[in-house]
Amino acid sequence: MDNRPALGVGMVGYAFMGRVHSQAWRGVSAIFDLPVRPVMTALGGRSAEKAAAAAARLGWASVETDWRRIVERDDIAIVDICTPGDSHAEIAIAALDAGKHVLCEKPLANTVAEAEAMAEAARRAAAKGVRAMVAFNYRRVPAVALARRYVAEGRLGEIRHVRAQYLQDWIVDPEFPLVWRLQKEKAGSGALGDIGAHIIDLAQYITGQRLTGVSALTETFIKERPLAEESSGLAGESRTGAKGPVTVDDAALFIGRFDGGALGSFEATRFATGRKNALRIEVNGSLGSLAFDFEAMNELWFCDATEPDAGFRRILATEPHHPYAGAWWPPGHGLGYEHTFVHEVKDFLEAIATGTDPSPSFEDGLQVQRVLAAVEESAANGSRWTDL
């Protein structure tokens, strides 16, 4: 008999992010001892037919074609938002105001104004015991969480440098179509918000420092692309010879300063040919350094300069005492991308059950949004230094 309280989950959106979140909701209870029991109650999507097919496949018990129904249903306690950024604010605020806990995909919003409203809604909700979390899943890579632990323990000393890159190459081909991620009104920005947001969040999370100012440049290498039939996923299909303008950045580079004195170098691009999902971060401190690359996500490289013959050592973050890792398999039997979402959902459920604020909060998401806005402002003004 499972006496744990059940929490109904309603998820809005079922494209790439929705598929991964479903894996997490479905699998989390088999791996982690949770104080509550998530139930995959409803999937929200505009097309009843497509949503039903997705729900059947992904394990959702029912379907709603209007996200407002998800927000209203009494059997739903958690709303999981997996839609493009232009709808985050409306759904999240409505859900929070309706007393639903909210997990929202990143970036939190498409504008700072939206993000501010969302953070405000989260504050109101928190006062009533309702929780909100933004889904920066990469914090939940065990190697990344271990990196954070090292910095927090002081093993790196004073942090001097952060260099972070998120390198992909899926739109190098100029014939790749104009999917929604390349449209400003849908996605807010391009590489910057989609993947740049991750490295901004990770840099701040790992170091415990916040960016105070940036100087940036952005570029759109391919100005026009074939129109896509479908615009709700990573892949698309061109129907005709017609083209449309790419209205977001293909790449964003910036340098910046952190409030603890560190310098930062950031680069997010979808034009790094041969790099598939190379989220990389290196942190140099006075006592040691850390390096991580998501393409080898089970590895954390750590240099402890206080030991003789120091060098970067490859720690497989799969030991029982490593974050999250003990719940899984024996050492060396690595995890994959989707498991970062399992960890995310686990932490979110625990926060709800224990009545604590989950992290990263909407406030954290807002702060990242401000960095994104500062980067865009700087880039639009000849790389002018832009304070945060």
Q: Hey, which residues between 156 and 175 contact a second copy (CB under 8 A)?
A: 156, 160-161, 163, 165, 167-170, 172
Angle, CA 367 vertex, CA 146 and CA 204 arms, to 5° = 25
Q: Is 181 in the site for a second copy (CB under 8 A)?
A: no
The token duo for 69 is 């129904």
Q: Please say whether the beta carbons of 246 and 179 come within 8 A.
A: no
Q: Is 305 in the site for a second copy (CB under 8 A)?
A: yes
Site for a second copy in 90-119 (CB under 8 A): none
- Give the HSE-up count for residue 243: Cα atoms under 13 Å, Cβ half-sphere: 10
| Cα dihedral 132, 136, 137, 138 sign | negative
Q: Is 203 in the site for a second copy (CB under 8 A)?
A: no
Query: Toward a second copy, which CB reaches closer, 239 or 313?
Result: 313
**CA 76 → CA 40, 102, 119, distances in Å?**
9, 11, 22
Q: Is 384 in the site for a second copy (CB under 8 A)?
A: yes
- List the one residue out of 33, 133, 128, 117 whose CA is nearest residue 80: 133
Query: Toward a second copy, which CB reaches closer, 128 or 321?
Result: 321
**What letter represents residue 124's amino acid?**
R
- Give the HSE-up count for residue 111: Cα atoms under 13 Å, Cβ half-sphere: 9
Q: Is 277 in the site for a second copy (CB under 8 A)?
A: yes
Q: Is 251 in the site for a second copy (CB under 8 A)?
A: yes
Candidate residues 316, 350, 353, 370; the one interacting with a second copy per rule CB under 8 A: 316
Angle, CA 191 vertex, CA 186 and CA 196 arms, to 5° = 115
Q: For a second copy, which stretch binds (CB under 8 A), given 5-13, 103-111, 197-205, 286-294?
A: 286-294
Query: Toward a second copy, which CB reaches closer, 143 or 351?
Result: 143
Tell me whether residue 71 is exposed, middle or buried, using C-beta atoms within 10 angstroms of its C-beta: 0 to 12, 13 to 18, 19 or more. Answer: buried
Q: Is 199 in the site for a second copy (CB under 8 A)?
A: no
Q: Is 303 in the site for a second copy (CB under 8 A)?
A: yes
**CA 257 → CA 180, 208, 234, 268, 388, distances in Å?**
32, 13, 33, 17, 10
Candidate residues 65, 87, 231, 383; the one interacting with a second copy per rule CB under 8 A: 383
Candidate residues 206, 272, 349, 366; the one interacting with a second copy per rule CB under 8 A: 272
Query: Toward a second copy, which CB reaches closer, 100 or 163?
Result: 163
Q: For a second copy, which stretch binds (CB under 8 A), given 94-102, 125-133, 294-302, 352-360?
A: 294-302
Q: Is 232 in the site for a second copy (CB under 8 A)?
A: no
Q: For a second copy, which stretch binds (CB under 8 A), given 116-124, 189-197, 198-206, 264-272?
A: 264-272
Q: Is 56 in the site for a second copy (CB under 8 A)?
A: yes
Site for a second copy in 126-145 (CB under 8 A): none
Q: For a second copy, which stretch binds (CB under 8 A), given 23-31, 68-76, 96-104, 105-113?
A: 23-31
How does 258-277 read in b/e, with b if 16+ C-beta sit within 10 Å? beeebebebbbbbbbeebee
The token duo for 215 is 């100087």
Angle, CA 373 vertex, CA 369 and CA 377 arms, to 5° = 170
